[in-house]
């Protein structure tokens, strides 16, 4: 299938039915406190601007797959020809539902009906903020990315879910790939000048026998659906273990496994990571710098909600005002 699709995940945490289901399963299941914090689910009120950004800056997109648990934004034009609304039960087995585990959802997205082999995965806080062409994400049918090695530090108890999950991702990767073989076969992708000073990390890590970690950016990620199919064929048991968890837990697989797999295989085009976009943990201190990215030519931005964002209303109101100033006209995706 030709063309590039976007997949975006969204939830309306103000929905009373969702809240009741969330509370019921929260009481019955193991969970890490960070996995149930409101910051994981609350809506910043800027999702309509996500569609305005796509329409203005990436009008070439073949289809947008909006993934929800059955909710639909009241303002959304559900009849737009490029929009495919996908409920969890349409691509996740019923025995795993309902789920409040974003990892479980993302590990299944390749099963979405009519999904192109080339797609970009977004969270609802990740925005295209400047005009982009299709070859920003894919070139010669391969995703554009960067391979910069790093050493993973010991697990931090304050970030147990992410650090332990990445440890599992890397462990699986090492069971399928020889680091030294992949480095020999893809020298131009390991030692590429576009990485700038970060290239030194690959030189300093080259003698280590195993992959220890990869530098990542929390921004929209291009994937090949075929990568998901390939990993499901060889690691279905572990994938299902993650999917069975109602909430995010330590040692759950994440979508980063699929990215690392593409990197290890050499199925990507090297890019400068600093030109891919920016990421902000929103706060009263960071909001002004975050807003500047809406007008400074930054390609993509993630406006991340966090557990320590205590002035949520003031910060998100400032962000909404900035979006409205930049994109005041409704898109055809809105009523």
Domain of 143 in residue numbering reads as 4-326
The predicted pLDDT at position 242 comes to 96
pLDDT tens readout for residues 234-247: 999 999 999 999 98
The predicted pLDDT at position 29 comes to 67
For range 141-168, the mean pLDDT: 81
Residue 130 lies in a domain: yes
60-74, 121-135, 142-156, 321-335: the lowest-pLDDT one: 142-156
Residue 39 confidence class, pLDDT cut points 50, 70, 90: very low
Instruction: Tell me which of 310 and 277 has the higher pLDDT.
Output: 277
CATH (domain of 294): 3.90.550
The predicted pLDDT at position 33 comes to 54
For range 265-269, the mean pLDDT: 98
Q: Give the DSSP letter string of 185-240.
A: HTHHHHS-GGGGGGHHHHHHTTT-SS---B---SS-EEEEHHHHHHHHHHHHHHHH
Residue 334 lies in a domain: no
* 3-state DSSP assignment of residue 142: strand
pLDDT tens readout for residues 121-131: 999 999 999 99
- Cα-to-chain-centroid distance, residue 27: 28
- Give the separation between CA 183 and CA 178, rounded to whole angstroms: 9
Q: Find, among 80, 52, 54, 83, the residue nearest to 68 by Cα.
A: 83
In what order do the strands lie in the sheet containing 138-139? Answer: 138-139, 142-145, 269-270
- Is the pLDDT at 83 greater than 50, yes or no? yes
- Is the pLDDT at 110 greater than 90, yes or no? yes
Residue 146 lies in a domain: yes
Q: What are phi and psi of 67, to 5 degrees?
A: -100, 120
The predicted pLDDT at position 261 comes to 99
84-88, 200-204, 225-229: the lowest-pLDDT one: 200-204
Residue 332 lies in a domain: no
The predicted pLDDT at position 142 comes to 98
For range 74-102, the mean pLDDT: 97
- Cα-to-chain-centroid distance, residue 270: 19
Buried b / exposed e along 122-141 (16+ C-beta atoms within 10 A): bbbbbbbbbebeeebbbeee
- Give the separation between CA 37 and CA 12, rounded to whole angstroms: 15
- Give the separation between CA 19 and CA 71, rounded to whole angstroms: 12
Residue 56 lies in a domain: yes
Judge whether 262 and 145 are in contact, CB under 8 Å. Answer: yes
pLDDT tens readout for residues 292-320: 999 999 999 999 987 767 788 899 999 99
Residue 288 lies in a domain: yes
Residue 93 confidence class, pLDDT cut points 50, 70, 90: very high
Residue 69 lies in a domain: yes
- Give the separation between CA 100 and CA 210, rounded to whole angstroms: 33
Mean model confidence pLDDT for the chain: 92
pLDDT tens readout for residues 160-172: 667 888 999 999 9
For range 93-116, the mean pLDDT: 97
- Give the separation between CA 271 and CA 88, rounded to whole angstroms: 33
Query: How many structural domains comprise the chain?
Result: 1
The predicted pLDDT at position 325 comes to 97
For range 110-127, the mean pLDDT: 98
The predicted pLDDT at position 38 comes to 53
Q: What is the H or E stretch that residue 54 is in?
A: helix 47-57
152: its two tokens: 């993973």
- Give the separation between CA 125 and CA 108, rounded to whole angstroms: 20
- Cα dihedral across residues 115, 247, 175, 173: positive or negative: positive
The predicted pLDDT at position 16 comes to 87
- Give the separation between CA 218 and CA 295, rounded to whole angstroms: 20
Q: Find, among 129, 133, 56, the residue nearest to 277 by Cα.
A: 129
Buried b / exposed e along 214-245 (16+ C-beta atoms within 10 A): bebbebbbbbbbebbebbbeebeebbbebbeb
The predicted pLDDT at position 48 comes to 98
Judge whether 213 and 127 are in contact, CB under 8 Å. Answer: no
- Is the pLDDT at 25 greater than 90, yes or no? no
């Amino acid at each position: 299938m030709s063309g590039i699709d976007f997949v975006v995940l969204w939830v309306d945490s103000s929905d009373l039915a969702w809240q009741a289901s969330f509370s019921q399963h929260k009481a019955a299941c193991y969970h890490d406190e960070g996995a149930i914090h409101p910051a994981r689910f609350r809506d910043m009120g800027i999702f309509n601007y996500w569609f305005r950004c796509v329409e203005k800056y990436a009008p070439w997109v073949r289809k947008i797959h909006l993934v929800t648990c059955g909710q639909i934004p009241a303002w959304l034009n559900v009849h737009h020809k490029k929009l495919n609304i996908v409920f969890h039960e349409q691509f996740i087995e019923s025995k795993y539902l309902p789920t409040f585990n974003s990892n479980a959802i993302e590990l299944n997205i390749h099963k979405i009906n009519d999904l192109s082999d080339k797609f970009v995965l977004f969270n609802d806080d990740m925005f295209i903020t400047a005009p982009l062409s299709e070859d920003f994400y894919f070139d010669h049918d391969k995703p554009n990315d960067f391979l910069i090695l790093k050493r993973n530090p010991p697990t931090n108890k304050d970030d147990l879910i992410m650090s332990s999950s990445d440890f599992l991702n890397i462990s699986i990767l090492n069971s399928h790939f020889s680091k030294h073989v992949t480095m020999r076969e893809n020298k131009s992708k390991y030692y590429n000048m576009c990485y700038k000073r970060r290239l030194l990390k690959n030189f300093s890590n080259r003698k280590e026998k195993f992959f220890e970690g990869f530098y990542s950016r929390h921004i929209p990620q291009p994937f090949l659906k075929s990568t998901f199919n390939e990993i499901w064929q060889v690691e279905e048991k572990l994938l299902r273990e993650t999917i069975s968890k109602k909430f995010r837990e330590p040692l759950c697989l994440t979508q980063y496994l699929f990215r690392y797999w593409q990197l290890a295989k050499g199925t990507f085009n090297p890019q400068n990571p600093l030109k891919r976009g920016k990421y902000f943990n929103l706060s009263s201190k960071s909001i002004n710098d975050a807003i500047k990215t809406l007008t400074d030519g930054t390609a993509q931005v993630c406006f991340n909600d966090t557990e320590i964002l205590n002035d949520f209303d003031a910060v998100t109101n400032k962000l909404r005002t900035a979006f409205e100033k930049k994109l005041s006209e409704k898109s055809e995706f809105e009523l």
